[in-house]
Amino acid sequence: MSDKHQHNPEEHFREQHLMLDPMPRGKMNDMVMDSMNTTSWKFWVVFAILSAVVAWGLFYSWGKMILEGLGIAGVNRPSYWGIFLVNTVFWIGISHAGTFISAILRVFKAEFRRPFTRAAELMTTFGLVQAGFSIFMHMGRVWLSYWLMPYPNQRGLWPNFHSPLSWDLLAITTYLLSSTMYLFLPLIPDMAMARDRSTGWRKTFYKILALGFRGTEGEWTHLRNAMNIFAFAIIPVMFSVHTIVSWDFAMATRPGWSSTIFGPYFVVGALHSGMGAVVIVLGVVRATMKNMKYFIRPEHFEAIGKLMLIISMTWAYFFFNDYIVQWYGGDKWTKTLLHFHEAGPMGWMWFGMLICNIAIPWAVLWNRKWRSTPWIVGTVGLFINFGMWFERYIIIPVSLSINRMPFTWRMYQPGVEIPLGIGTLAFFILLYMAASRLIPLIPVWEVQEGQMAHTLTKFGRETVVTVSELE
């Protein structure tokens, strides 16, 4: 602490912590509204470029694949699963951050979560949209996707509920609906706030979404109860989704996939990439949106940085556990596959995965000053996302490239998957940019509630932060 701060610890705490630096509610509302309503020309340039990328990468390329068939994709014997499923797993992983931050940190009353729960929840919903797109791309004949649904028909078609792929449909649908509802519930009071401060089409838009919310005792009671139920119930749903995704692989008795630890390993991997994505989003939001420096502070990056470090260590533990058990087993084909991962043509990706997921986070995030610096943590988040995408690529097409029948061995060469993958990424960013203009990214009432609960108390000569439990 500097001399100035030693003399005035309260000022030091206010500078550091949003919860100890309250502003009048009206001012915070104005700041959030201002951040939504202020749009520079740079925003529209990026928006236009991304729209063009989406039009080309997602809609044109997908349309072309629908017209010409899956043959223009790189999936073929022996790698029948390629980048479409890599991206599906990747985007479902990204979606885990929202629930982790919003639900788990809410249950454990981690106060630093308050200003960025919505930013994370939006990632969940938009990430799942991309995951859904990627799965439909993989299906090829997407217009027949209703065959997945259980409905009485004369052809005797029925989903095979013994299959992890059917469980996937149930789990992803449950998670998409739940996370969208969980995004919407705490948004209602902020929509009412926006309704009270808007005119024109925005007023109509917010009025519709605020549903007539006024903030009566009854409305808050119902909302609080529902949010508590969601916070607890959505956690097992989140765990189930990525566990079931892992079972798509682990239920097959093939080298590299058949692993009892795949469920938790995938869940931790999802959290790893999700948290990495959250810091990237928060860094961009803080740097580009008006007034966000008040709400999103270095303390938040510091707290997320710590979580990222812990999750990185947990991921390393699961990775090593999975690796050593397979290596020790001595099965010929498993050993061949492990050697192929490390020393084969995609060996650079295997080492890149370890560098991005373990070496870089550990080398940077141990340092409090570094993990409090938004651009440094954001860069680590970017590396983690490269690392986690590499991990999924290695598990899916690289592991499928070799099998127990050497005459079928062939490296996977992606085709139309590349523009489609770029298209989903661009669409995710585009949705986020559109949402940042329409939805208050900061849950103002939650921030105010947190600020009401935090006070500074003197214990002897020391000033400490105390938090009251208001619920």
Partner 1 sequence: MTNEKSLLAVFSDLEPAADAIEQLRHLGIHDDCMNVISGVPVTEAMLGRPHQWTNVPRLAMGGAILGMATGIFLAFVSPTSYEIQVGGQGFAPVPVSIVVMFELTMLGMLLSTFLGVFLDSYFPNYRPMHYVPEVSDGKIAVLIECPQADEQKITDALKKLGAESVQMAEAQHL
Check binding of 270 to partner 1 (CB under 8 A). no
* CA separation for the pair 406, 410 (Å, rounded): 9
- State both tokens at 245: 């995704």
Integer CA distances (angstroms), 267 to 92, 150, 204, 274, 377, in order: 10, 28, 40, 10, 22
* CA separation for the pair 353, 360 (Å, rounded): 10
Question: Which residue's entry shows tokens 């409305």?
Answer: 219
Check binding of 29 to partner 1 (CB under 8 A). yes
Q: In angstroms, what is the minimal distance from the CB of 281 to partner 1? A: 25
Among 102, 178, 246, 399, binds partner 1 (CB under 8 A): 178
Give strand ranges (E) for 4-152. none
Q: In angstroms, what is the minimal distance from the CB of 197 to partner 1? A: 8
Q: In angstroms, what is the minimal distance from the CB of 237 to partner 1? A: 5
Which helix (H) or strand (E) segment holds residue 456: the answer is strand 454-459
Which residues in 214-243 contact partner 1 (CB under 8 A)?
214-226, 229-230, 233-234, 236-237, 240
Nearest to 192 by CA among 214, 174, 168: 214
Check binding of 63 to partner 1 (CB under 8 A). no
Q: In angstroms, what is the minimal distance from the CB of 35 to partner 1? A: 16
Binding range to partner 1, per CB under 8 A, among 50-58, 156-164, 260-268, 375-383: 156-164
Q: In angstroms, what is the minimal distance from the CB of 182 to partner 1? A: 8
Determine the size of the site formed for partner 1 (CB under 8 A): 64
Please name every residue paired with 466 in a beta bridge, in sequence order, or none if there are none.
455
Which helix (H) or strand (E) segment holds residue 337: the answer is helix 332-343
User: Contact, 320 vs 241, CB < 8 A?
Assistant: no
Q: In angstroms, what is the minimal distance from the CB of 41 to partner 1? A: 31
| Site track 182-201 with partner 1 (rule: CB under 8 A), x = hit | x-xx--xx--xx-xxx----
Nearest to 99 by CA among 288, 291, 233: 233
Which residues in 368-397 contact partner 1 (CB under 8 A)?
none
Question: What's at 178, amino acid-wise?
Answer: S
Residue among 28 and 398 whose Cβ is closer to partner 1? 28
| Site track 105-144 with partner 1 (rule: CB under 8 A), x = hit | ----------------------------------------
Check binding of 160 to partner 1 (CB under 8 A). yes
Residues 6+ apart with CB under 8 A from 231: 102, 103, 106, 107
How many residues comprise the chain? 471
The residue ranges that bind partner 1 (CB under 8 A) are 24-26, 29, 150, 156-158, 160-163, 166-167, 170-171, 173-174, 177-178, 181-182, 184-185, 188-189, 192-193, 195-197, 207-208, 210-226, 229-230, 233-234, 236-237, 240, 244, 445, 448-449, 452, 470-471
